Amino acid sequence: MTKPRPDYTALTIRIASPAQKVQSHRNQYPEWGQPRGFSVDEFLHRETVLNGDERPWVRDGGFTTWVLVPRAEPETLNLLASCETYKRDSLYLPPGESTPRPTTAYGIASVFCIPEHRGNRYPTFLLQLLHYVMAEEGTLPPFPAAWGQPPQIEGFKDARFSVLYSGVGRVFYSKVRKGDGEGSEPGWVADEHSHRIWDIKDVPAPQVDGLEYLGADEVAKLAPGVGEYFKSAIASTGDKSKTRLAILPTRDMFGVHPLRYELAPGHRKTATFGVRLPAPEKGAPQPFFTYSYEISTKRPERLVLLYVQHPVPFEAVLAAAKHEGVASIEMWGGFAGWDKEAGGATLDREDSVCALAQYGFGGDDKVEWEWVEKYAWC
């Protein structure tokens, strides 16, 4: 039976206090920490190290933990729902223009509600309020009176879009609407990019010459060049009848992925995080690709592609995966031409879905997200 809506006027969104932030991680542990082999203490330590105040992706409001709580008990540790956001430097390019405009986007992560509170639509309401925290003024439907007083949180209201990755299919987050009732708009709409997985445990390693394996520090140095490439290439990319959107790899976003892996139980100390290939011709830029890994107690380690600067043949990716001893390769986004490589990719368009909410661009069919990355939310 569907539970009645709670009294939204009695609830509010707030930036988590230090104690609430720790409690949100304790709440997540049974479902997200334990299956990856963490103890409770290891999981809490990981969050402290990964999102410490000194990290480039945390400074200047780059990382925030949000909680939904009763207005009358703002400091409670009985969290109705929680989530996290990463602020991302981004671009948008309207149709007919050639110079992209800077903007802010947010990646939403770790949306969570403990079992005792499920069925009350608390995560949905938390994220509906979050739209009104993040989006630029004037880009959303009016704030519903039935939700009480709108949130007034300084340092935000600067985004033209936000993204998240859904583990509950393509529909749920689109129902987390901007506004309520007539005049409301869909929330995070599933993007058309596919999630691909190659099972390579029985595929022989190819012989590819000239591969240069990169450590964490070397991979982090690639990000500024990628950001400049995005700025120069977005005008010739994608559907020119739509506003094209791109998230830049600033705030050391190429550095966060190796650290995330290195804080996981069972990580390999010899792991690499990228490969650079010889230039296709004299004077041309060197192609490269970056990656991290997924570790789970339920299956062998997997290589996850994060960014590909073409031309990169799939054989180079396969060679890297075999070099690292993993059993599968995962990819988000549309690096065309690889679906049939290594025996064919398994396409997943339901379980793992990247989704986007646009603010003020006239509709979800009016925008296109370029260069989708696996961990765009962080």
Please state which CATH number belongs to domain 195-348: 3.40.630
The per-residue pLDDT for range 84-114, each reduced to its tens digit, is: 999 999 999 999 999 999 999 999 999 999 9
pTM of this prediction? Answer: 0.93
What is the distance between the alpha carbons of residues 45 and 55, in angstroms, rounded to a whole number? 15
Residue 63 above 90 pLDDT?
yes
The per-residue pLDDT for range 214-257, each reduced to its tens digit, is: 999 999 999 999 999 999 999 999 999 999 999 999 999 999 99
Please tell me the predicted confidence (pLDDT) of residue 378.
43
The per-residue pLDDT for range 105-163, each reduced to its tens digit, is: 999 999 999 999 999 999 999 999 999 999 999 999 999 999 999 999 999 999 999 99
Please tell me the predicted confidence (pLDDT) of residue 142.
96
Where in the chain do CATH 3.40.630.30 domains reside? 8-193+352-369
Q: pLDDT averaged over the chain?
A: 92
Please state which CATH number belongs to domain 8-193+352-369: 3.40.630.30
Q: What is the three-class DSSP state of 202?
A: coil
Query: Residue 199's closest CA among 347, 9, 60?
Result: 347
